[in-house]
Amino acid sequence: MHSKPLLLRTCSVDLITGLVNADTRTDQLHETELRLLNTLVAQPNVAISRADLYLAVWGRSGGKSRVLDVTIARIRRKLEALPDRPEHLITEFGVGYRFRTLQSANERPTEPVRFDRFDELSLIGSWFSEGQRMVSLSGPPHSGKTTLANMVMALHGDRRSRVKVSMEGVHSAVAAESRMATTLRPILEAGFGGRFLLVLDDVEFATDALVGVIHRWMSRFPTLDVLTVGRCPLPDPRAASVALSRHARPRRQERPFTDHFSAAS
């Protein structure tokens, strides 16, 4: 057990007493919550399986129990600024959970990441899950961008809504704003809960003006995430940039994915 306070982005945690101190409030971790947090903190930035967490915290196998997930959710409400977009208590799908340190949480991709293997796409899904709101998927013709974009939509999360908008023939920020508004306004104002992913497909121009349009929509709807797909990455350091090689060939999806919504150009 750690004697020094655990420093997070919005609070500090006494890992012995479970006291949580933030600027405007204090909170208290219960015994099981504290034991679980200490187990994760003991192996920072390492995914720990559900079985190992159940054994370490509860001393038994979890089976189909959801106690672990409920406890993680309670800890997130006490420690995370946005519990539905955690920075520190990270879900590792198909594995378990991981504690991400503050230093790692501050890291963002600054250079385009080039993908040649389909398996590495899981990283894009984790960017969205862990708080990255914009990802730019770019590459030459015939690099498999459309197939990969569909997989990213699935990786964004099964419980989240998504919509793909074709930007073919759009060459100005005004035209982009009009097409996005036609599609997004009725959907978002209908009150969909949770995260929402907008895929801007066939982007033929990537300029600061387009970035400005995207940021206005993201500011208006804090639950909106954006993926752009086209020849060039977005000129925005806040967007994770993924560059595909010409010969990237993703394998076929095991399970077909259907958009919840579609928009004609």
Contact 230/241 with Cβ under 8 angstroms? no
Please check whether residue 174 lies inside any domain of the structure. yes
Question: What pLDDT, on a 0 to 100 scale, did the predictor assign at position 13?
Answer: 93
Same domain, 218 and 236: yes
Same domain, 44 and 167: no
DSSP letter, residue 82: S
Tokens for 193, please give them: 């809960």
Within 8 A by CB and 6+ apart from 87, the residues are: 8, 9, 80, 81, 100, 105, 130, 131
CATH number at residue 61: 1.10.10.10
DSSP letter, residue 244: E
Question: What pLDDT, on a 0 to 100 scale, did the predictor assign at position 27?
Answer: 93
As a residue count, the chain comes to 265
Divide the 265 residues of the chain into consecutive groups of 10 and give the mean pLDDT of each group.
76 93 88 95 90 93 84 92 82 83 57 49 64 78 65 58 81 87 78 74 84 86 83 78 59 38 34
Within 8 A by CB and 6+ apart from 216, the residues are: 177
Residue 210, CB-side half-sphere exposure with 13 Å CA sphere: 25
Contact 48/96 with Cβ under 8 angstroms? yes
Number of domains the chain is built from: 2
Tokens for 201, please give them: 């497909």
Question: What pLDDT, on a 0 to 100 scale, did the predictor assign at position 148?
Answer: 65
Same domain, 251 and 142: yes
Please check whether residue 237 lies inside any domain of the structure. yes
Same domain, 92 and 115: no
Can you give the residue range of the structural domain that contains 84? 6-104
Please check whether residue 198 lies inside any domain of the structure. yes
Same domain, 59 and 185: no
Question: What pLDDT, on a 0 to 100 scale, did the predictor assign at position 258?
Answer: 36
Instruction: Give me the DSSP letters along 124-144.
Output: HHHHHHTT--EEEEE--TTS-
Same domain, 96 and 196: no
The whole-model pTM stands at 0.50
Question: What pLDDT, on a 0 to 100 scale, did the predictor assign at position 248?
Answer: 47
DSSP letter, residue 19: E
Which spans in the chain are helix H?
31-41, 50-58, 67-79, 102-106, 122-129, 145-155, 173-188, 208-220
Chosen domain end from 104, 124, 145: 104
CATH number at residue 239: 3.40.50.300
